[in-house]
Chains A and B, each alone.
Chain A
Amino acid sequence: MTGKTHDAIIVGGGHNGLTTAAYLAKAGLDVVVVEKNPHVGGAAVSLELHEGWVYSNCSYVCSMMRQSIHRDLDLTRHGLILVPYLGTVNFGDDGQTLIDYPSEEAAHLELKRHSPHDADSMHRFQADLARYAQFIRKTLLRTPPDPTSMRPRDIRELLFLGKQMWSLGEREMYEYVRFFTISAADFLEDYFENDLIKAAMASPGIIGTALGVYSPGSAYILLHHVMGDVDGNIGAWGLARGGMGAISEALASAAREHGAEIRTTSGVQQILVKDGEACGVVLENGDELNAGIVVSNLDAKRTFTRVMDRNDLPPGIYEKAKNFKIRGSSGKVNIALDGMPQFTGVPDNRYVNRGGQGFTGSLKTMERAYDAWKHGRWSPDPFVESVIPSAWDPTVAPPGKHWMSNFVQYCPPTLAEGPWTPEERDAFGQAVVDKIERYSPGFKDLIVHMEVRTPHDLEQEVGLTEGNIFQGELTIDQLLFNRPFPGYAQYRMPVKNLYMCGSSTHPGGGVSSACGANAAREILMDLKKPNTVPEDDFYDE
């Protein structure tokens, strides 16, 4: 049973687990990654579910990936190419369209068509959002301080945060507090009057969260749309050529190059703890692996309530994990298409009819979709954010054919009537297709294959509790030094030699690799190894 003892075992081969593995291996550690699925990547995967079509069947666009990590691990050489995509069309309740043209002038004229006032406000809105994002960006590749600690490093980090805040000045500080705590709807009220423009701008505020556009705290989530960058272009969004799996494959390849071992189809049954110290794992096939440290890429709830024995945990931790807020609120419908769908009212312009589609409606439509979720249902008029990656990336569909990724907010983890059934799942998928058909007559006839994923499916396949895409709600009670639990935000967990590196830790979800990199830095510090993790790029100084 006992073989050699590894330096580190990473439980779960998601993009963060692979990032941690790469950096630990780069520092010379003997690292093994164990992944339950036959492929690596967790929720960043490319799967051929219908012959000729490759789906990024969970996460589907990329922007938050830290550029410094991309460069440092030489991911381009390992096959990762990010393709920026341009132009999104938002559809209103009555079929109006709002097109985000790549040309600034055209975009301005388009806004003006809806509201001259809002067109003028847009610059102010974007500048404000970019400023708020700068603050968060600076914290991404840093370990959150413990505000109760007197250790020099914590005080230094706390002062860093304080200085960032303080240097803003009184007016800005006030605006920040306001922005970080109010609802997306209230925030947008300061800038816009047009319903469709508000809805289009609000949509990033609800992605992946169990909050509505009227819920306080949803304004902050807007930042996820502008926090990232593609090739240094802040706020841009991109596709990974070959699907999101390309990111995971590149990270895996980098990790392997540095000597990490990656074992797929090796689900972990239990994390082993001996004398209060994590010392290995038992796989589902009964094999036991031993290691000096264990790093969990699983979400906090799954780590402490599913793969660990409650008796191995210090008192109170199990309860903390049980109370961790991780709610399934999103669904996904992946569709293989026989050709490019045409959308009513959208000009035949190669920049705008091939990018993204936001079936946003209005703030009220979005909020009503949230209300349905509270009742354990999906809305008959859901919010759908779509992208047709094949328009930019020829590798994901046969020539002339397309695949469309449709992200749906909201979708409950279990229904009011009970668990999901295949019939209910099909009905949910149908609601999404019906909505798209309203804006694209004939859309249904183009469908070659369709995969409908509810939060339940995400949990079953990827392992995310309740199918929450961020491994935990992004609300103040679970951000920075509160993520995942107060006192355990520095990647070290309550059991000695146990670490966490997934999106349940700071700075949270969004395919950024930041959690994994931060965890690696802390681990290397504990093992007294030289740090291999790069610092982040700052653009504003």
Chain B
Amino acid sequence: MSDYDSIIIGAGHNGLVCAAYLARAGQKVLLLESAEAPGGLAANREFHPGFKTSVAHVVNHFSDRIASDLKLARYGFEGSSNVTLVTGLGREGRHVTVDGHSVTGVEQGDAEAYRRFAAQMRRFADALKPFWLKTIPRAAPGKWSDMSTFARIGLKLRLLGKDDMREFMRVAALPARDLVDENFDSELLKAVLCWDGLIGSKMAPRSPNNAVLPMLYRTAQGQSGTPGSLIEALQASARAAGVEIRTGTTVDRILVNPGQDGLVAEGVILAGGEHIHASRVVSSADPKTTFIGLAGIDNLEIQFTNRIRRLRCDGFVAKLHLALNGLPEFTGLDRLNGRLLIAPTMNDIEFAFDHAKYGEYPPEPVMEIVIPSLQDASLAPQEKHVLSAHVMYVPYRPKGGWNKQAKAALYERIIERLSGYAPGIRDQIIHAELLTPAELERDYRVSGGHWHHAEFALDQMLMMRPTYEAAQYSTPLPGLYLCGAGCHPGGDLTGAPGHNAAREILR
């Protein structure tokens, strides 16, 4: 007998979204989370007494539809439709700030070019936007009924007009560097605009094929806000819908039993040995963890397992959390809101990546900085602040492995780099925490420490994410579903994979 309709493994934001949708449809849902609190990479966690922050530090394009379906505003998520500002920190305090429509800090020519560029990218992004919330069907001969989605994508693109459609088909696979080189002169602006195509990936500005679609994904309009309030609201919404959330509960294995037509997932076995039965199991864990770790290769067909094994998901981002005794001062910058980038040129990004390719960490890392305590005062004691930074590129497997000395040396390089833009910051540090990709994997149980669960690349997108047999949220193992960032459309705090998975389950 089943105890639940659905058990969801992992209470990251996608697990919460999926659980809420299922419960609202009348299902009895159990959400299991190994950590002490829900939220996954977006959960606020105290890293020093009185100082809190989350690994994912911005909400940029959370889906409007999900926010309204789940009534997140009522539960405290005050999403705004404004794009989070991005400021590229320039040498000698000459900065460039982009707000999605216009840019300041550059010459007239670049400012005009940016308006044209942003408008075109927005047209492309708008054409693609509906499909992030759709299930992309299998491209299998004989399944013509599903083909309307492909036809609609084609039509959407065609409706852009001949010139735009042609341009889209050309730029879709361009390296980030070529895309911005074609449009701008300012090195700093180019580096800033590259960033959203690369963040979290094993890619640099010169890498072809996989940068522009993520850029457009991130350009899609949605809600911005703080991760903390988003997780709180999702949690409240899920509970209100009747979801039972058990934290501090680690799933050891997915319970697989022989059914009438072969193996079926029927529940989970907890680390303590407890069996919980359900009509289905939905995993928001990454595909490698889900299939290899939890379902077990004995229960899967070998070619499928091979495809999961070769998913590319080595993380290249380290996370820095600083507890500061005051607001940091960046040379020439009066507002610290939004995202601040230390990536003065595309070559800086490229060369930082070059070191990581060989398992070295870069002498001059590039990074994205946010001061979360400016948005949410509860994250730090009064007058004190938290600095959160995504540092690229830091290899998951460095030469010689991770150890104390390697981490200390990397930390020193990061602070040195930071001090170049915020000269007094070293003296403001009360406590510092640096999480390498290996530690992100350990602490957040995400393979490779990869935020997106699997590299955001053309062959791991759409109906191929994570691989073609598991891209419609159901998997080759009946009763087992996926709802995490390893499914279409992918990572970032959007809620889309959780939403799409729930729709497929309810179908």
Contact = CB atoms under 8 A, between A and B. Distances in A.
A261 B486 CA distance: 61
A109 interface: no
B507 interface: no
Contacts of A103: none
A217 to B, nearest CB: 4
B209 interface: yes
B166 interface: yes
B64 interface: no
A485 B171 CA distance: 11
Interface stretch (A65-73, A169-177, A281-289): A169-177
A136 to B, nearest CB: 16
A148 B165 contact: yes
Interface string B170-192: 11111000100010000000000
A171 B468 contact: yes
A486 B169 contact: yes
A181 B209 contact: yes
Contact of A148 (B139, B166, B357): B166
A371 B354 contact: yes
B357 A367 contact: yes
B208 A487 contact: no
B459 A178 contact: yes
B162 A148 contact: yes
Given A170-B139, A177-B464, A477-B171, A182 B166 contact: no
A178 B462 CA distance: 12
B413 interface: no
A486 B141 contact: no
A340 to B, nearest CB: 37
Interface in A135-175: 147-148, 166-167, 169-171, 173-174
B208 A374 contact: no
A374 B357 CA distance: 15
B374 interface: no
A364 interface: yes
A462 B171 CA distance: 30
A188 to B, nearest CB: 12
B459 A215 contact: no
Nearest to B202: A214
Interface in B381-427: none
Interface centre among A178, A186, A216, A485 (most CB of B within 10 A): A216
Contacts of A371: 354
Interface string A206-231: 00000100111100000000000000
Contacts, number: 92
Interface string A467-490: 000000001110001100111000
Contact of B207 (A170, A215, A364): A215
A190 interface: yes
B69 interface: no
Given A170-B468, A374-B206, A477-B173, A182 B354 contact: no
A177 B458 contact: yes
B26 to A, nearest CB: 34
A257 interface: no
Given A186-B312, A215-B206, A215-B207, A476 B173 contact: yes
Contacts of B165: 147-148
Given A170-B141, A475-B208, A216 B457 contact: yes
A367 B355 CA distance: 11
Nearest to B459: A178
A169 B141 contact: yes
Contacts of A181: 173, 209-210, 457-459
A325 interface: yes
A48 interface: no
Contact of A211 (B208, B357, B358): B208
Interface string A21-34: 00000000000000
B140 interface: yes
A339 B442 CA distance: 61
Nearest to A168: B141
A477 to B, nearest CB: 5
Contact of B210 (A166, A216, A477, A485): A216
A323 interface: yes
Given A215-B206, A216-B207, A371-B354, A482 B458 contact: no
B350 interface: yes
Interface in A432-467: none
B204 to A, nearest CB: 9
Contacts of A167: 141
Nearest to A476: B173
Interface of B: 138-141, 158, 162-163, 165-167, 169-174, 178, 182, 203, 206-210, 310, 312, 347, 350-351, 354, 357-358, 457-459, 464, 467-468
Q: Which 6 A-B pairs have the closest CB atoms?
A: A486-B166, A476-B173, A178-B459, A217-B208, A181-B458, A216-B209
Given A476-B173, A486-B167, 13 more contacts: A169-B140, A170-B140, A170-B141, A181-B459, A182-B457, A189-B310, A217-B173, A371-B354, A374-B350, A374-B351, A477-B171, A482-B169, A486-B170
Interface of A: 147-148, 166-167, 169-171, 173-174, 177-178, 181-182, 186, 189-190, 211, 214-217, 323, 325, 364, 367-368, 371, 374, 475-477, 481-482, 485-487
11 contacts: A147-B169, A148-B162, A166-B141, A167-B141, A174-B464, A181-B210, A211-B208, A216-B207, A476-B209, A477-B170, A486-B170
